[in-house]
Structure 1
Amino acid sequence: MLEIHYLVTSSDTVESVKIYEKAADFVAAQQREVPDLEDYFHVTEASVDGKKLELKEPTIYGLFNKLNQAN
């Protein structure tokens, strides 16, 4: 399971959370003509099967790149 905690804007004070059954589901959803999440959203935390991911670029785009390389 992939769990993503993110902020829509830098001034947001409340995180949003999106959960995918598999990381591959997130990658596929981001490749659609209209992706699930905008590339620029700031990722505050992401985990796969309970393991936190370290992101060099803490955005949805950075998360996509990290997970797309793993597949």
Structure 2
Amino acid sequence: MPDECRIYVNGKERTVPTGSSVLDLLQLLGYPVKMVLIELNKEVLPRREWAERRLERDDRVEILRVVAGG
């Protein structure tokens, strides 16, 4: 479908609306934005770029939860 883009999230194939940002993906999946780190195509993506970085076909996104502990 031209209105969707195929990506991989944590190793699983997903489709997102064309033009979706990384931040859009997190909101779509229900992740708490302040509690995750993002790796995009094997590179850490700075939080300040999440809203502007558009996902492209076959991008590979790893979402890592931050866990506090002691």
Taking structure 1 as the reference length, the TM-score comes to 0.32
Which has the bigger relative contact order, CA under 8 A and spacing at least 6? 2
Higher strand share: 2
Taking structure 2 as the reference length, the TM-score comes to 0.32
Q: Kindly name which structure, 1 or 2, has the bigger radius of gyration based on alpha carbons.
A: 2
Higher helix share: 1
